[in-house]
Structure 1
Amino acid sequence: MKITPITLPNFAYFESDNVYTGSQQGFRFRVEPQNGQFAACVWYGPYCQEKSEIVASQTFPFDESGRQQAADWLTEQVAAYLQKVSEGTQPDGRRFY
């Protein structure tokens, strides 16, 4: 199972109030500046965030260290997701048939 570490744009990108989204094999995420912090959330499947259930979310300090913490957290989340998929289990615990 190949896990590509999540990388985020540089800090200046977020200082301009930009939102960043990405995906990896059915794992989807969003990172944005919110109330002086980075807000990151995760969902699974083919649909946009608005049409999906958020399965995990976390906030981080709004600085360079927080940006890296968010990227590391997202990489951990995608690793857990891909592990379940490789075992034949859907992220919600049901078995694939």
Structure 2
Amino acid sequence: MSHKLFDIRNLEYYKSYNVFTASKDNFRYKITPRDHIFYVEVWYGKLCYEKSQIVEKSEFTLDQDGFENLIAWLEEKYNLKPI
């Protein structure tokens, strides 16, 4: 699956349980793979994860379907972000 909005690592990166944090504009997200699950958190603004209020959370299976659903979810949340 090609993702248009985000420069997200490939599925193999997460299968090694690597955490990934990134941003686009004022939209920030953190992907944490653990126990065969993707945990995804979203926040807004310029502050780092530790100093921010998480506004959305979701979980997806740590497989190809879950990865594609995760990307679609992030794109949806990005498109709904406050200006």
Q: Could you tell me how far apart the structure 2 residues matched to 1:6 and 1:60 are?
A: 17
Aligned equivalent of 1:67: 67
Displacement over 4 Å in runs of 4+: none
Q: Could you tell me how far apart the structure 2 residues matched to 1:32 and 1:43 are?
A: 15
The code of the aligned residue for 1:22 comes to A
Q: Could you tell me how far apart the structure 2 residues matched to 1:7 and 1:72 are?
A: 13
Gaps of 5+ in 1: 86-97
Identical amino acids, percent of aligned pairs: 34
Q: Could you tell me how far apart the structure 2 residues matched to 1:36 and 1:56 are?
A: 20
* SS at 2:72 equivalent: helix
Cα RMSD, aligned residues only: 1.2
For the Cα contact (< 8 Å) 1:7–1:71, is it kept in 2?
no
Structure with more strand by fraction: 2
Gaps of 5+ in 2: none
Between the two proteins, the alignment pairs up a number of residues equal to 80
Tell me whether 1:20 sits opposite 2:23 in the alignment: no
Tell me whether 1:40 sits opposite 2:48 in the alignment: no
Q: Larger C-alpha radius of gyration, 1 or 2?
A: 1
* SS at 1:66 equivalent: helix
Aligned equivalent of 2:31: 31
Q: Could you tell me how far apart the structure 1 residues matched to 2:80 and 2:50 are?
A: 23
TM-score using structure 1 length: 0.76
Q: Could you tell me how far apart the structure 1 residues matched to 2:36 and 2:17 are?
A: 11
* SS at 1:71 equivalent: helix
Tell me whether 1:78 sits opposite 2:78 in the alignment: yes
Cα distance change of structure 1 residues 7 and 72 upon mapping to structure 2, 3 Å threshold:
farther
